[in-house]
Chain A
Amino acid sequence: MSEKFKITIDGVSAEVEPGTTILNAARQIGGDLVPPAMCYYSKLEGSGGKCRTCLVKVSKGSEKDPRPMPKLVASCRTTVMDGMEVQNITSPEVLEARKGVVEFLLINHPLDCPVCDQAGECKLQDLSYEHGAEATRYEFNRRTFERIDIGDKIQLHMNRCILCYRCVYVANQLTDNRVHGIVGRGDMSEISTYVEKAIDNDFSGNVIDVCPVGALTDKTFRFKNRVWFTRPVSAHRDCDKCCGKVTLWYKGEDVLRVTARKDEYGEVEEFICNTCRYDKKKTSDWVIDGPAQIQRQSVISANHYDGKVVPVIDKR
């Protein structure tokens, strides 16, 4: 075991393994000093660095070289040096830059939360709420794309996309051949298959789970219900393709959708296959583990859960 590195973020110190990024060090500390991340995804190699929401200020480089870094850095892609000191929410400069990033992410966003299936579990919603300004200064027409189906189970609303590239990494790292990608360039870049083609393989549904916004949504759940009116329940089954550990989203006795289980940072714990996601929507398909942990501040917990909610389980 190698020596650990000491890092101080917003005055809170921790010891982390060499090679740990500032963001992951912050996650180890936890609490409100953890920078938000829209494109970084710890389970997807090569992700991060793009959205710039996790920018932080390195006020001291390391014990050896205490000089501060000249620019704000993406905490998700910058590794900790021993003795490093970082400012996140204690730096007005960081908060100002982050506010700017949120504004940039929103100028071309349709703000159609009232009709978006992602509302309630949208990272962009959370981000805007926590770091955004009340009003936009953008007065031009927003960029628009046609809404398209990529396969019979996934709908792409390109208007909502923030180009985090996560779905591309999923296709690269979880599936055999990628048929969608980023085409075009600049602010006309889009997620696309270019020619009409379905994303069709056993793990394609994971692009929905990793999408931080409502750009890729589950067509089988489309407009069925607002997520905060559904109850998440942890369940598992023996699956020969994936781990079989999922969250079932109930409305009354019906399973409206199945997703992978997500951790406190909204990342899936383990990816699941399409059979579990789309074809097992009966309670009898699953062994129920109990109510899923939902963060208290989440809108999903606002509607119900007064401590102990027992899922309605079909005992057949």
Chain B
Amino acid sequence: MEIETREIRFSEERLAEVRQILQRYPEGRQKSALLPLLHIAQAEFDNWLSPDVMDYVAGLLDIEPIEVYEVASFYTMFNLRPVGKYVLEICRTGPCCLVGAEKVQAHIEEKLGIKPGETTPDGMFTLKPVECLAACGFGPVMQVGATYYEKLTPERTDELLERFRNENKRATYC
């Protein structure tokens, strides 16, 4: 997979957003902005957090880089390796499984020829089973970028994959 290299720096718009976020917290508590900033950084830089990106965030907040690594590696939404354009986050927790999530996941695995954690060779899809997405009444459910896709069936999943392939646009949380 090709990884674009570019200068790690937020756009002016994003920097304005950062400044606004920092105002939410009292003086000297700027570390509180870490999670919001990591989300922005991930969205800005190909949907994953390289050490360089994390170091950049550490610099923005004036904290040690290890403080960022500790946090980024704790939370599941942060990708610490390159991912495909569409990260298929299918819920694998109990309630979704009661209504067929395992079948949907198996269908995706077969259709795309990838296992959990893997990315298709064309760099389009990464399969990332996740725990409960808090949409249990509308399962099986899958999150792609910021969008929840609910009441999935293998057929509906096929349509979605087709749609993503045509759109061909990186899906991020924010």
Contact = CB atoms under 8 A, between A and B. Distances in A.
The reply, when asked whether chain A contacts chain B directly with Cβ atoms under 8 A, is yes
B37 to A, nearest CB: 18
B51 A181 contact: no
Interface string B45-71: 000000100000000000011110110
B32 interface: no
Nearest to A188: B73
A101 interface: no
B73 A184 contact: yes
A179 B73 contact: no
Given A194-B51, A195-B51, A178 B73 contact: no
B66 A194 contact: yes
Nearest to B69: A194
A267 B13 CA distance: 52
Interface in A161-191: 177-185
Interface string B65-92: 1110110011000000000000000000
Given A194-B51, A195-B51, A183 B64 contact: no
Contacts of A79: none
A177 B74 contact: no
A55 to B, nearest CB: 26
Interface string A187-219: 000001111000000000000000000000000
B64 A184 contact: no
B164 to A, nearest CB: 29
B64 A182 contact: no
A190 to B, nearest CB: 9
A185 B73 CA distance: 7
A184 B80 CA distance: 11
Contacts of B65: 179, 194-195
Interface string B26-53: 0000000000000000000000000100
A192 B70 CA distance: 9
A217 B70 CA distance: 23
A181 B66 CA distance: 6
Contacts of A180: 66
Nearest to A195: B51
Given A184-B74, A185-B74, A195-B51, A177 B69 contact: no
Nearest to B74: A185
B73 A183 contact: yes
A193 B73 CA distance: 12
A195 B51 CA distance: 7
B72 to A, nearest CB: 8
A168 B51 CA distance: 20
Nearest to B68: A194
Contact of A178 (B51, B64, B74): B64
Interface of B: 51, 64-67, 69-70, 73-74
Given A177-B64, A185-B74, A195-B65, 6 more contacts: A181-B66, A183-B73, A184-B74, A194-B51, A194-B66, A194-B73
